[in-house]
Amino acid sequence: MKKQKIEIPILMYHQFKEDMNHVGNSIATYVTRKQFEWHLRTLKFLGYETITFRDLEKIGLENRLKRRYIILTVDDGYQDNYEILFPLLKKYQMKAVIYLVSDSYNRWDVEEYGVDKSPMMKEEQVREMIESGLVEFGGHTLHHCDFHVVDKETAKQEILENKKDLEEKYGISLLSFAYPYGHVTETAKKIVKEAGYHFAVSTSTGTGIITDDLYEMRRTSIDRTSVWRFLKRISGRYSVYKGKKWMRQQEK
């Protein structure tokens, strides 16, 4: 019997809420404090080691499956990342990668979908996270633009200026990039490479095998899911399974 392939799971979070009473008119992709703490406790119990993309480079892609690694990623950089995510990372000494937009709030969701305004983290909060060594930051464009819509020059400006802004402000080097909405185009991918990023993550595209394309690494979205679905999604085989389905669709 052919052995099923495994890969490092890359999970994707967005917002964190104190409880269901604090949801309001929010985006659908959120978890509560209690749910996220359960996620971390479960990962710890199952022997997962959370790493960042800088850690992955140090480990070496060829050694990525020698231990039970997992990468937690969080898009946009909302204030709740500091208020809920960060304390729990410190409590369990686990790591995450946060992709920052340069906007001060979720303008794209407010204008397009009419959801509640959610502020991004303050500069001093980001600095505290960096100093902790538990959080790595990556790029996510200036204004959360849609690469399926904007032209090449706008895409270039969104990617390059966001990277320059964050690196100069925080004195760091950004290693990875997340495509807003998970919308990957060959033009955007090329610009991301030329910008000096070493990795880029998508949402529902990519083969699920990291080394197939370092600039279209598939992630698994995590929200208010059941225990069984969470356990299934953190499996190293899940992203490979989803990647195979995506490739079959591409062939049609």
Going residue by residue through the chain (252 aa), what tens digit of pLDDT does each one get?
Answer: 445 689 999 999 999 999 855 555 566 678 999 999 999 999 999 999 999 999 999 999 999 999 999 999 999 999 999 999 999 999 999 999 999 999 888 888 887 778 788 899 999 999 999 999 999 999 999 999 999 999 999 999 999 999 999 999 999 999 999 999 999 999 999 999 999 999 999 998 999 999 999 999 999 999 877 888 999 999 989 999 999 999 998 887
From CA 10, how far away is CA 239, in angstroms rounded?
A: 8
57-87 burial, b if ≥16 CB within 10 A, otherwise e? eebeeeeeeeeebbbbbbbbbbbbbbebbbe
**Degrees, nearest 5: CA angle 140-144-146:** 110
Q: Exposed, middle or buried: residue 24 (CB in 10 Å: 0-12, 13-18, 19+)?
A: exposed
What is the enclosing helix (H) or strand (E) of 177? strand 176-178
State the pLDDT at residue 28. Answer: 65
Size of the chain, expressed as the number of residues it contains: 252
For the packed helices 123-132 and 152-170, what is the interaxial angle rounded to 10 degrees?
70
Query: What is the pLDDT, as a whole number, of residue 27?
Result: 63
N- to C-terminal Cα distance for the chain?
28
Tell me the backbone φ, ψ of residue 52, rounded to 5 degrees. Answer: -105, 180
Rounded Cα–Cα distance for residues 41 and 89 (Å): 11
Q: How many CA atoms lie within 13 A of 93 on its CB side?
A: 0
